[in-house]
Amino acid sequence: MALDDGNTVTTKLLTLLNVSATKLGKRKVVEEDFVPAEKLNKRKSISFSDKVSIKRLDAEEQHVEEERVMETDKADAEDDAMDVDEDADVQDSSDPYETHFGPNSSVLTETVRTAVDQGAWKTSKEVLGRLGPATVSVPVQPDPNAPASKTSGQIDILERVKTPFKAHQAKCTLNQGFTRPSVLVLLPFRNSALDWFHALTSHTPSSSFQIENQARFLAEYDLPPGTEDKLTSAEPGTYPLDHVETFKGNVDDNFRIGVKLTRKSVRMFTEFYGCDLILASPLGLRRSIEKEKSADYLTSIEILIVDQMDALMMQNWDHVKFVMSHLNKLPKESHDTDFSRIKPWYLDGLAPYLRQSILLSSFETPEMRSLYSHSLKNVAGKVKIDKRWLPVDIPDGVKPNFVHFDCGSPQDEADKRFHHFTTQLLPSVLKSAVQSTNTVVFVPSSYDFIRVHNYFRKTAGVSFTVLSEYSSNQDISRARLAFFKGEKSFLLVSERFHFYKRYKLRGIRNLVFYGPPDHPQYFTEYLSYPFLDEEVEPSDVTCRVLYSKYDWFRLERVAGTEAAAELIKIV
């Protein structure tokens, strides 16, 4: 008989059930006569003025404030109890939510789950109203003639434990997950969280709804009072519109906040195990998980929204993958959960097969496609919006030269690109007296940028300077000036630098794109920069774009869908 290694679903659940039963046996909660216990070491309440000043409460004010907090806690508990009663009365098998997320989900069958695990998806092209053309994927059943068998939801535990557990579970009307948070929204910056806050609160009836901790939220997620936003206050046209929309306001990328929704209020800054909705950046959430050494508050996420994925790509994508790897896992602790009320498919570890995920981006990348293909397991299917791209606008008379290199596998792509650049493309540039000066080398990938930078450092006789996302303002000024004056022949630029700074660069006559940029508008911008200088003719400007078949997404956005297909077909 094989020994249990302690990592099986059954072992983990038995451990949690034993801990939960021990805790439940030591306490009895009567919801009808709810009396909140007095909190020890209660945190002093603070009030925020326009200057975000903090006022210490005297003894009488503190007493009044404590009573108000206790009344709020009691009201929240009463609201939760009302939600339980209403859920028991309103449950309807025809309700789309009950059909998908109910305790006896009709979409979660063994056959479709097996198809998802095996990557067996049936794909079709459809037109979805205003969304337009889309690729729809649904799991393929191995045997279409065989009846679909429903997931039993039973737990492999001792009969003497299972029988009373199931009997008690049948009497309960609140069906829940391991922890309370059910919605997670991943965002790149605090200004994005502020936009979501305004969208959320704009649908609440102001006369009867309370928004708690609003002043504190605005103080921490908006710009400080009296601070001028140079992007929004600049003359129209100074900065591109997409840059203004992305970076206006507070652009800190380390944040996380819990939001509790009740019948009468929206409460910001609720601790995670008591909230319904989590707004966070991947970095902020990762730091929280690593600090607490637990991600139990992500065990019962039913709806995941990843917003502005194109901006998240310019941060650290590993943070996104880290958060995704911690979704819908079995909890490490019980957190006072009543396991008799948990939906069976949570106990079976099948939550990832029902989680609804919404990924939003202005364009697609291989990293996003990988996330879509391997991390989204909803057995009801998935939809990807298709888009046909037109070629970007470029100055009249400028003719980009697309340079292809052979590559047999995506694993070899980085090495093959570097080899072709260093052995063929760059030497041909250095042979020309005209093209070996006033030349910008634009590198989309940060990893490739480091590699190219190190190569230039070791190449004798090539004068160059660098603009990266790590360049200080002083470094940026020196590099721009040296390149414009001709003191440096080459300027290496990372795409992340342009994403964050969006400077207009003068002195360019030759452009070498180490790969097509992720943001197609950057291609247009860099081809227009040479004409910032006087008396520059289109014939004075050269442009080379290095690409392989694995650059399809980026190439399509720059050259257009039809032209990109021809470029790939030619090779």
Quick one: tokens of 103? 């305790």
- The confidence band for 311, taking pLDDT boundaries of 50, 70 and 90, is very high
Mean pLDDT of 46-56: 35
Provide the 3-class DSSP secondary structure of residue 152.
coil
Mean pLDDT of 346-375: 95
Which of 22-36, 334-348, 393-407 shows the lowest mean pLDDT across its residues? Answer: 22-36
* Amino acid 89: pLDDT: 46
* Amino acid 83: pLDDT: 54
* Amino acid 64: pLDDT: 44
CA R_g for the chain? 29
* Amino acid 475: pLDDT: 97
262: how many CB neighbours lie within 10 A of its CB? 20
* Amino acid 15: pLDDT: 52
Q: How far apart are the first and last CA of the chain?
A: 58
- The confidence band for 164, taking pLDDT boundaries of 50, 70 and 90, is low
Cα Dmax for the chain:
90
Asked whether 257 and 216 are in contact (CB, 8 A), the reply is no
pLDDT in tens, 235-262: 988 999 999 999 999 999 999 999 999 8
Quick one: tokens of 105? 């989900």
Q: What's the mean pLDDT when you consider all of the chain?
A: 84
pLDDT in tens, 478-492: 999 999 999 999 999
Q: Specify the pTM.
A: 0.82
Which of 135-139, 148-152, 255-259, 346-350 shows the lowest mean pLDDT across its residues? Answer: 148-152
Mean pLDDT of 43-54: 36
CA distance 69 to 426: 68
Question: Is residue 43 predicted with pLDDT exceeding 90?
Answer: no
Question: Is residue 151 predicted with pLDDT exceeding 50?
Answer: no
Mean pLDDT of 377-405: 96
Mean pLDDT of 201-214: 85
- The confidence band for 336, taking pLDDT boundaries of 50, 70 and 90, is confident
- The confidence band for 277, taking pLDDT boundaries of 50, 70 and 90, is very high
Residues paired with 211 in a beta bridge: 266
Provide the 3-class DSSP secondary structure of residue 466.
strand
When mean pLDDT is compared over 155-164, 262-271, 552-561, the highest value belongs to 552-561
The percent of residues in the chain predicted with pLDDT above 70, rounded, is 77
CB-facing half-sphere around the CA of 279: CA atoms within 13 A: 23
Asked whether 316 and 283 are in contact (CB, 8 A), the reply is yes
Residues paired with 210 in a beta bridge: 265
Alpha helices in 152-266 (DSSP H): 159-171, 190-201, 214-221, 230-233, 241-247
Quick one: tokens of 294? 């637990």
Beta strands in 368-509 (DSSP E): 382-385, 401-404, 439-443, 464-467, 490-494
Beta strands in 228-334 (DSSP E): 256-261, 265-268, 277-280, 303-306
The 3 state secondary structure assigned to 429-447 is: HHHCCCCCCCEEEEECCHH
The DSSP output letter for 535 is: T
